[in-house]
Amino acid sequence: MTLLADADARLDAMIVDAAALIRCESPSEDLAAVARSAEETARVIGARFGEAGLPSEPERIEIDGVVHLRWSLGDGPRRVMLLGHHDTVWPVGTLERIPFSVVDGVMRGPGCFDMIVGVVQAAHAVAMLAARDGAASVDGVTLLVSGDEEVGSLTSRGLIEDEARRHDAVLVLEAAGPGGALKTARKGVSWYELEARGRAAHSGLEPERGVNAGIELAHQVLALAHVADTAAGTTVTPTRGVIGTTGNTVPAAARVNVDVRARTAAEQDRVEAHLKALAPVLDGAEVTVHGGINRRPLQRADAAALYERAVRLAPSVGLELSEIAVGGASDGNFTAGVGTPTLDGLGAVGGGAHAKDEHVLVAHIPPRTALVALLVEDLIASPAR
């Protein structure tokens, strides 16, 4: 049986596994929910690994209350790491409005596209190889499923980077780009909080005694528009903000989150230097910038050799691949940042990440799973470095 035929035969099982994980809601900031999700992920993947003669129990790595899962297969040199995450952006209760379903070949449910189906594909790709050729065939493979990617991988970053350094290559099972495109470049991400402080006063009786932090913040936000560089692909976006405490008080404090995306580390550094140098406009106001660079860019050079392998292997599973550079970041930024060749976007084909129309096209699951299996097999036979 070919790997594609095996993946086709596993489709119903993969849908069952995805359903189990989607129905175990896992918003990143709810540590109890993430812990439940980790156990369900361990159960689902462990069952498939056990069927294939592989160790079923992962290492449970808890860091600051967040549970991450690692299966390190065999004792040989670490050849390839498959990387995913089991947390999602959706709060507990979302299933009541967006239940899991598969209708007319379209899967829906919170987290299905980002990135539950990718985690399932990774597990089945490894299990397929082991079931066909024995556990020794995946000696040197690591599957790492983290629990806080959606909030910046604050606890898992060190773990991911350390694992990446040990491996010859990293395959990231994040969702694909439009039409199934693999992600060969991702912008770097910087996250800041811009805080303005002034002086409170009664807004009706003596507003002149106050220093309005909201107005100070408005000056700063408007100035941010000039920091972005459209030609360079650098975006500087104020997002969530808070001003003041009551409706009849000159606000003494105001703050806004700022999301920065850049194609190069040099652009990230330029924007950071500008933000750290911000000075207040109003007399008596203060401005403070918190945060910094979260992820360096994933450059195409980090992915090029692995993408060429994927293009070479894809026709045997009926795929014709394309590539895309995207603004969103992933844990692949971290693995590329430590110098390990990284290919991203090998997961589900669909759309609607973080939106109510999140969905996965079921027909793409088997060939993409088979492609991951082929890449793992190829990287074990011919290491990337």
pLDDT (0 to 100) of residue 264 = 94
In angstroms, rounded to a whole number, what is the distance separating the alpha carbons of residues 347 and 39?
Answer: 22
Q: How far apart are CA 68 and CA 138, in angstroms?
A: 21
Q: What is the pLDDT of residue 294?
A: 92
Nearest C-alpha neighbor of 115 from the set 138, 90, 95: 90
**60-92: pLDDT as tens digits:** 999 999 999 999 999 999 999 999 999 999 999
pLDDT at 345: 98
Cβ neighbours of residue 41 closer than 8 Å, sequence gap 6 or more: 21, 24, 69, 86, 119, 145
Q: Does the annotation mark 378 as catalytic? A: no
Average pLDDT rounded to a whole number, residues 316-343: 96
Secondary structure of residue 57 in the 3-state scheme: coil
What's the pTM? 0.90
The CATH code of the domain at 3-187+297-381 is: 3.40.630.10
| Residue type present at position 292 | G
Q: What is the assigned CATH class of domain 188-295?
A: alpha beta
Has 344 been annotated as catalytic? no
Instruction: Considering the candidates 6, 114, 149, 302, report the single residue annotated as catalytic.
Output: 149
Provide the pLDDT for residue 135: 97
**What band does 385 get if pLDDT is binned at 50, 70 and 90?**
confident
Closest C-alpha to 148, from 93, 89, 60, 70: 89
How far, in Å, CA of 278 to CA of 165, rounded? 37
> Long-range contacts: 222-227, Cβ < 8 Å, 24+?
223/278, 224/258, 227/271, 227/274, 227/275
Find the angle CA(337)-CA(333)-CA(329) to the nearest 5 degrees.
155
Q: Do domains 3-187+297-381 and 188-295 have the same CATH topology?
A: no
Q: Where do the structural domains in the chain lie, given as residue ranges?
A: 3-187+297-381, 188-295
Identify the pLDDT of residue 153: 95
**Could you give the angle at the alpha carbon of 77 between the alpha carbons of 72 and 80, nearest 5°?**
60
- Catalytic annotation, pick one of 6, 17, 87, 148: 87
Q: Give the pLDDT of residue 384.
A: 85
Place of tokens 């896992």: 26
Closest CA to 309 of 341, 350, 349, 347: 341
User: For residue range 179-221, what is the model confidence (pLDDT) as tens digits?
Assistant: 999 999 999 999 999 999 999 999 999 999 999 999 999 999 9
Instruction: Calculate mean pLDDT across residues 333-356.
Output: 96
